[in-house]
């Protein structure tokens, strides 16, 4: 298995992360939404201060790649002018919030997101990857998204607060929700949820830690994550591995405000037709939607092999209903959870893991990249 360094934190704007192609600067849109002006300005900034390459993260954030160290301060000034810069690293780190992109004007989601964001400024010192979700549609749609404290609906539409990994939530009003979420975060800390500076709610619940009273209301049945197409609220468009060029963002912003999703897609707000841009994924049957791949080598200094060329080649061969994860190392940053097929890069090639994570024991170890390229069809028959 490959060796790697666990950073234990995600990049931000104030605290970027150095990668093989320069700094990675993560922009966290307020409420998961970029106005047209913000999107256009981010596109310009990505080209002026970085490589022009943009990633969408699994936490519904926008990452500018290849930012030059001597241009970082100027980029921060641009983000501040757009209202997208937090006052300090601590506030930025605490503002780890994912909002359903399918909210409707007047349904209370915008106000709730703003109130929770404001409350998070006073959040305790939680693990850096600890996050919150506002999933307030008729039924949860963020169930498969990695987060720790959820605000969602019960079967009868009641707003509930639910710790990730727990079967039941606790009814709260919209006014109570921000402070109730912080109280649950404090409970997580007080009951030993953090070990060696890290910890996630689902793992804490799985250890049998008893919840406070009141967590007895079941959430509504979760919905299947959406694919590209026309949805309530706008047009949802995808990108291969969540990556695109700033010019694409500029073109999309001409169609309307953009809502950033945790599925590495953007919702073009109010659009009733799909934009005609060659680089977009607009077909929900596109095989690239069945593959996740991290930046890989040489873009990531920890990656031991290139990942995305191999992922592109293998995408059409992934069986229907299955999922492939190609990871540059055993950290599995692009998909922390299991996949039907995972290829983890090693010095010798790729380890193949079935129904597991990038760090799990492989079924086949050290498969040479050239052998996979020559006979890609054998990969899914090897098991």
All residues at 6 or more sequence positions from 318 whose CB lies less than 8 Å from its CB, including other chains:
287, 290, 291, 324, 341, 380
Phi, psi of 356 (to 5 degrees): -155, -175
Full set of structural domains in the chain with CATH? 17-89+227-269 (3.90.480.10), 103-206 (no CATH), 287-381 (3.30.413.10)
298 preceded by a cis bond (ω within 30 of 0):
yes
User: What is the full per-residue pLDDT of the chain (383 aa) written as tens digits?
Assistant: 444 454 556 789 999 999 989 999 999 999 999 999 999 999 999 999 999 999 999 999 999 999 999 999 999 999 999 999 999 999 999 999 999 999 999 999 999 999 999 999 999 999 988 999 999 999 999 999 999 999 999 999 999 999 999 999 999 999 999 999 999 999 999 999 998 888 999 999 999 999 999 999 999 999 999 999 999 899 999 999 999 999 999 999 999 999 999 999 999 999 999 999 989 999 999 999 999 999 999 989 889 999 999 999 999 999 988 999 999 999 998 888 899 999 999 999 999 999 999 999 999 999 999 999 888 887 887 54
Residue 351 DSSP SS3: strand
| Cα–Cα distance list, 224 to 20, 145, 227, 355, 382 (Å) | 35, 11, 9, 20, 30
Check if the beta carbon of residue 101 is closer than 8 Å to that of residue 32: yes
Q: What is the rounded CA–CA span in Å between residue 151 and residue 351?
A: 38
Give the contacts of 121 (CB within 8 A, at least 6 positions apart). 91, 94, 95
């Amino acid at each position: 298995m490959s060796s790697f360094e666990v950073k234990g934190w995600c990049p931000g704007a104030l605290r970027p992360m150095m990668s093989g192609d320069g700094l990675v600067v993560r922009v966290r849109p307020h409420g998961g939404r970029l106005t047209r002006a913000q999107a256009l300005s981010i596109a310009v900034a990505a080209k002026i201060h970085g490589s022009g390459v943009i990633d969408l993260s699994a936490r519904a954030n926008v990452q500018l790649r290849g930012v030059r160290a001597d241009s970082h301060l100027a980029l921060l000034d641009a983000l501040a002018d757009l209202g997208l810069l937090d006052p300090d690293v601590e506030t930025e780190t605490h503002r780890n919030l994912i909002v359903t992109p399918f909210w409707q004007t007047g349904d209370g989601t915008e106000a709730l997101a703003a109130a929770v964001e404001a409350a998070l400024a006073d959040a305790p010192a939680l693990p850096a990857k600890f996050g919150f979700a506002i999933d307030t549609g008729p039924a949860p749609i963020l169930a498969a998204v990695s987060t720790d404290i959820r605000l969602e609906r019960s079967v009868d539409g009641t707003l509930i607060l639910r710790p990730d990994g727990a079967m039941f939530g606790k009814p709260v009003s919209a006014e109570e929700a921000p402070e109730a979420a912080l109280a649950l975060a404090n409970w997580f800390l007080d009951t030993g949820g953090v070990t060696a500076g890290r910890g996630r709610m689902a793992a804490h619940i799985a250890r049998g830690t008893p919840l406070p009273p009141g967590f007895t209301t079941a959430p509504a049945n979760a919905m299947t994550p959406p694919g590209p197409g026309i949805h309530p609220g706008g047009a949802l468009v995808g990108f291969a591995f969540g990556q695109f060029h700033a010019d694409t963002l500029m073109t999309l912003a001409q169609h309307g405000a953009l809502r950033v999703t945790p599925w590495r897609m953007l919702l073009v707000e109010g659009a009733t037709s799909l934009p005609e841009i060659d680089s977009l994924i607009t077909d929900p049957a596109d095989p690239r939607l069945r593959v996740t791949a991290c930046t890989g080598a040489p873009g990531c200094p920890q990656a031991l092999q290139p990942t995305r060329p191999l992922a592109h080649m293998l995408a059409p061969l992934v069986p229907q209903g299955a999922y492939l994860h190609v990871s540059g190392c055993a950290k599995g940053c692009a998909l922390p959870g299991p996949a039907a097929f995972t290829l983890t890069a090693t010095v010798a090639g790729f380890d193949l893991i079935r129904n597991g994570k990038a760090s799990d024991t492989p079924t086949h170890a050290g498969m040479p990249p050239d052998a996979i390229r020559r006979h890609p069809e054998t990969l899914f028959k090897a098991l």
